[in-house]
């Protein structure tokens, strides 16, 4: 199956309350390398205006076969469709006030650069390879093949403070639309 689609019979994640502490939280100063300029880290706490950061576990590499055990993890599958939906909705998100948009995973920057280029993302991906963002915000995660992977969630940050979160997210490609609906109602 292509990485731009996903099975319809995936297990749905449940809200375990792991993000309840986020609303109103001040984002700590953590510098993360973006795909466009890894040598110039982004400090999310310093971003001005409204920023959306969507977190995802990991994207698959070209020709990587998705193993059945990955599909069995609720909410794990669908990272590329989620990223592509944000790509497709970006003009509307900007229209409704999103100044900064980033995807974030615990994968390293060179790995992220490949998917960034392959699916033509007009925004940067941030690498939390050292788990600083995950730990600093106490984000939910799971372990897979001895790696900590952030569970799928999105956060809206306005001038360094979290004003909204989406968790759990299912199906993954619905996330950008949910963010846009919130922006329209805001």
Tell me the pLDDT band of 3, cut-offs 50, 70 and 90: very low
Model-level pTM?
Answer: 0.95
Measured on CA atoms in the order 91, 61, 55, 117, is the torsion positive or negative? negative
**Which token pair is 41?**
């880290």
Class of domain 31-185: alpha beta
The residue extents of the domains of the chain are 31-185
**Per-residue pLDDT for 2 more than 50?**
no
Count of residues in the chain: 186
Q: How far is CA 102 from CA 56, 112, 162, in A?
A: 11, 12, 15
Q: What is the pLDDT of residues 39-82, one digit of tens each?
A: 999 999 999 999 999 999 999 888 888 888 999 999 999 999 99
Please report where in the chains the tokens 């909410």 appear, as a residue. Answer: 75
**Beta strands 153-158 and 50-55, pairing class:** antiparallel
Work out the burial of residue 74: count CB atoms within 10 Å of its CB; fewer than 13 is exposed, 13-18 middle, 19 or more buried.
Answer: middle
Q: CB of 133 within 8 A of CB of 104?
A: yes
Q: What is the pLDDT of residues 118-173, one digit of tens each?
A: 999 999 999 999 999 999 999 999 999 999 999 999 999 999 999 999 999 999 99
pLDDT in the model for residue 127: 98
């Amino acid at each position: 199956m292509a990485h731009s689609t996903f099975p319809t019979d995936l297990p749905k994640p449940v809200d375990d309350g792991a993000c309840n502490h986020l609303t109103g939280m001040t984002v700590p100063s953590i510098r993360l390398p973006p795909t466009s300029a890894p040598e110039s880290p982004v400090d999310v706490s310093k971003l001005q205006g409204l920023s959306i950061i969507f977190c995802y576990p990991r994207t698959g590499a070209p020709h990587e076969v998705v193993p059945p055990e990955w599909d069995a993890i609720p909410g794990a599958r669908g990272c590329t469709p989620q990223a592509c939906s944000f790509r497709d909705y970006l003009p509307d998100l900007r229209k409704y006030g999103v100044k900064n948009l980033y995807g974030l995973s615990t994968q390293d920057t060179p790995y992220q650069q490949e998917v960034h280029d392959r699916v033509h993302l007009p925004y940067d991906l941030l690498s939390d390879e050292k788990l600083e963002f995950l730990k600093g915000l106490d984000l939910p995660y799971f372990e897979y093949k001895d790696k900590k992977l952030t569970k799928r969630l999105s956060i809206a940050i306005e001038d360094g403070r979290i004003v909204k979160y989406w968790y759990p997210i299912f199906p993954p490609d619905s996330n950008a639309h949910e963010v846009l609906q919130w922006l329209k109602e805001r």
